[in-house]
Amino acid sequence: LLLLGLAALALPPPAAAQPPPAALRAGHAASSLPAAAAAPRTRYLLYDVNPPEGFNLRRDVYIRIASLLKTLLKSENWVLVLPPWGRLYHWQSPSILQVRIPWSEFFDLPSLNKNIPVIEYEQFLAESGGPFIEQIYVLQGYAEGWKEGTWEEKTDERPCIDQLMYSKDKHEYYRGWFWGYEETRGLNVSCLSVQGSASIVAPILLKNTSAQSVMLDRAENLLHDHYGGKDYWNTRRSMVFAKHLRVVGDEFRNKYLQSTDEADRTHYKEDWTQMKVKMGTALGGPYLGVHLRRKDFIWGHREDVPSLQGAVKKIRSLLEMHKLEKVFVATDAVEEEIELLKKLLPEMVRFEPSWEELELYKDGGLAVIDQWICAHARYFIGTSVSTFSFRIHEEREILGFDPKTTYNRFCGENEKNCEQPTHWKIVY
């Protein structure tokens, strides 16, 4: 009714463009109209994350939200609307428009759908009858914090702690970032204090609101339901990289690193549900894989990040130890540091895209290609507490590498206790 009311406010469209009857909108297939009353309506779950968060943490938040969706599906018919990518801190390539990017640019949607029902935002717009989100919950902590030793999972509708990132327009609709879709409007916005795992908000979505479309903003405030469990790994395994990016990575491996799936024992099944590899069966290509995070990690003067010279010294010793001659480096280092690396490490190989490739794959696609190549190395070493390195660990775990070749990181020169990453064993 609301949407029909809005249409009435606008200039009268031609007869052909009149909004469809309610029964023809979201959740109702035309063929099922006689049984429309009996058909369960589809509800839409949308979410967003704190703007400064990067590509790889956002992938982790997807796993948490997928877990919530599985909980909701036990009671009702829900589908997850994938939040378009864009405007991320690490995506700094100039003169390329990087907003409103669909998930299919980076991930294989049929694979995601084998785990939970998902659709792109554009499909949501087409199905739901317009750019309206009925209920937005901004997730936040508790103003009073929590007392040590008294952790409990809870959620309450509370006054907003921070200033809302939404403002009302003259029609009383909420305007906001909405992934770069400025025509999107929110009908209601309220704040939820949350303390606990993702499924803690399920009762609120099922009982406190009947809105057909519900958005959780600041979704990173929810924790994992079961980090590292079977449900976690099912969702993680379903996050198969888009085929076109894997092909680019495979061609690069073959051409510059003498690496093929046959020789490396890294056969990949397109259907992730059929892929179950025994740990230690993958050999990997004849090269060392390195993720060297710089920029904000060195600006923060972190003790656990090495100098370039320190990193090169470690790389040299690993090449010698594993009798390898080539090293593939994924890094966000600035141009000056890249030049220095080339001098210190002439055998370094990097994926350096042409302008056309950059425009085609975008910064997110290049990150995926880098991760895919690192995931196939004989031995991998990453950067301390970097989510980019964590995602490579998981990819190698799925491919069946010996954990000793995966869970390794650089140490800072002045680091007293250089603890290596935890091995999160895959669960089927």
- Report the catalytic residues: 53
Fill in the DSSP letter of residue 250.
H
Token pair listed for 341: 């690396």
Distance CA 185, CA 176 (A): 8
Contacts of residues 140-148 at CB distance under 8 Å and 24 or more positions apart, as own/partner, are 140/191, 140/192, 140/193, 140/194, 140/218, 140/221, 141/193, 141/194, 141/195, 141/221, 142/193, 142/195, 143/193, 146/195
Cα gap 192→161, rounded to integer Å: 10
Residue matched to tokens 């989100």: 133
Strand order in the sheet with 326-331: 348-349, 326-331, 285-292, 377-381
Q: How far apart are CA 366 and CA 249, in angstroms?
A: 9
Non-local (6+) Cβ contacts of 233 within 8 A are 426, 427, 428
Q: What single DSSP character describes residue 303?
A: T
User: Contact 72/80 with Cβ under 8 angstroms?
Assistant: no
78, 117 in Cβ contact below 8 A?
yes
